[in-house]
Amino acid sequence: MHSVVNFLGRISHPNLVKLLGYCMEDNELLLVYEFMAKGNLENHLFRRGAIYEPLPWSLRLKILIGAARGLAFLHSFERQIIYRDFKASNILLDSHFNPKLSDFGLVKHGPDDGECHVTTRVMGTYGYAAPEYVSTGHLYVKSDVYGFGVMLLEMLCGLRALDPSRPSEQLNLVNWAKPFLSDHRRLTQLMDGRLNGQYHARGAFRAAQLTLKCLAGEPKRRPSMKEVVEALEQIEAMKSKSKSRLMSFFNNNVFRKGTTLNHRRCRI
């Protein structure tokens, strides 16, 4: 707890939750964070019911970009900071669904003196933890990238990283879903059914390709979080350009020429 106070007292970023204060009584430390009205991402992504409506594609991209920016910020220090427990339940959402990373109890300084990793006791959440960390205790900065890739996959398909209620071959989402990510047609079978097909198909495939890169077995083959942010921003821009082209078409061919508007459902 003291390490969390020291950590959040020294850094600030729009995509990291703010520590407002703390108090200590006897041996108990109470931390006071800013209020995040929408709770955590895990509830919105996986829970069913009237309280939690399915997240639309555009909102999923917004949350992914913000979370990626938070990780990229931690990795930008001269001695990089490894978050070590990236998962949907640690991403909090404000009233406008702006995401902020929370729970910094497992943060760790990255390697120095030319080393590529730090060796530490394995901690975090199984299903999100990178394979090299689980098997050897070697923690890389790009171990965080693997965790981000797992959550990116969850956002695409709306399924948990690990779920004992699924058939045995689908228990581990990464192992089961990887073959779907490199094929346009199979990807449509994987996409979250609650999106009802309302997503940019080419953007979704680009996101699937990015997911595969983040989930690469060797840390050096994964992109940096800065590169992940750039890739996601490009995917988001694809959607904006599609909307812009559609509106331009309507303006030029419908409203200006006074033609009759034929109501058809269009995927943007």
Tens of pLDDT, residues 96-150: 999 999 988 888 888 887 678 888 888 888 889 999 999 999 999 999 999 999 9
Tell me the average pLDDT of the chain. 86
Three-state SS at 162: strand
Pick from 108, 103, 110, 128: nearest CA to 31: 103
Please, what are the domains in the chain?
Answer: 36-255 (1.10.510.10)
Percentage of the chain beyond pLDDT 70 is 85
- The mean per-residue pLDDT over the stretch 226-230 comes to 98
Q: Which residues pair with 28 in a beta bridge?
A: 25
- Inform me whether the pLDDT recorded for 231 exceeds 90: yes
Q: How far apart are CA 166 and CA 168, in angstroms?
A: 6
Question: What residues act catalytically?
Answer: 85
Cα separation, 157 vs 13, in Å, equals 29
Q: Which of 179-193, 202-216, 224-238, 254-268 has the lowest mean pLDDT?
A: 254-268
193 DSSP assignment = G
> Packing angle between helix 173-181 and helix 201-214, nearest 10 degrees?
130
Lowest model confidence (mean pLDDT) among 27-36, 65-74, 209-218: 27-36
Q: Is pLDDT larger for residue 174 or for residue 254?
A: 174
